[in-house]
Amino acid sequence: MLTWPHAGTDWHDVLEDVEPVFMAIARAVLRFESVLISCEDESRLNRISALLNREILERQLPGRVIRAVAPADDTWARDHGPLAIVRDSRLTLLDFQFNAWGNKFPFARDNALTGRLADAGLFGTTIVQPVDFVLEGGSVESDGQGTLLTTSECLLTPDRNPAFDRTGVENMLMETLGAERVLWLNHGYLAGDDTDSHIDTLARFCAPDHIAYVQCTDPQDEHYEALQAMTDELRQFRQADGSPYRLTPLPWPDAIFDADGERLPATYANFLIINGAVLVPVYDLPQDAEALGVIAGIFPDREVIAVSCRPLIAQHGSLHCVTMQLPEGAVQ
């Protein structure tokens, strides 16, 4: 799922830079599976669809373009898109509340987007269930076997769910997502991150027993102490059977700053796993090649595809942040 940037978003001055990134993501995905594109500009959506459909035919790609016209405030589908579960053998899309990471930006159209797609028939007979709880997809990682990984800085911020303490949040995650236990990281952050330390920028499940994480080895870097503390926490975590996790550190990219001198949240942890491949954000940095090699070693049976995401981090997010996976059968 991609929510396409348009002139009414914060991308308006750099659409020529950011649209090629979205096209690169869509083209890569279509080599393996279908892509759902929503855009509030129907003429732009027609142009995008025509380009991609022609490529599908010419290259005989297995995916198809599923299109929808829907208004949006921004493009971060990971956070305003639905989260999928299977309950009583039925696929259900959970439509959590989205409030732009604690009321930081306009969010009404993003919050309504999943409901609009459902009303337009995009999800067919798939159950779409509204949930009266603020939760962004980038804030939780699942091992697929009952364990969730998250950060206290994000899920416990009072600007999201002020009536919930840690126990209340855990109970909600267990009730809605079927979690059996929650692992909390209390350390770790990225400068320039608007999300209050989303887990998908810091640490990712690569298998039920394997976590990849960002590691800063430069004592002079502002992130050093917090990320060292995060590493210590990860080493103390145990799987449900009591065994430690396999841990793989990801390279630490050179600092990237915007025109105002603000550091941007570049991270190689923001990769996207799709059918048969892993899409990896790169930033035109010396560490890109090492990151691709590390991730290729983690996923030896998948093709590793680099996507230049430097334009994305100008708005403080990256590849995983602008995508949301949907299981087979969710979209008609």
Rounded distance, CA 270 to CA 283, Å? 12
Flag residues of the chain having pLDDT under 50: none
CATH topology of domain 2-322: L-arginine/glycine Amidinotransferase; Chain A (3.75.10)
Residue spans of the domains in the chain: they are: 2-322
Rounded distance, CA 109 to CA 114, Å? 10
Burial class of residue 241 in the structure, from the number of CB atoms within 10 Å of its CB (0-12 exposed, 13-18 middle, 19+ buried): exposed
What pLDDT, on the 0 to 100 scale, is given for residue 88? 87
Q: What is the pTM of this model?
A: 0.97
Contact 326, 84 (CB under 8 A): yes
Angle (nearest 5°) at CA 123 between 118 and 126: 105
What pLDDT, on the 0 to 100 scale, is given for residue 41? 87
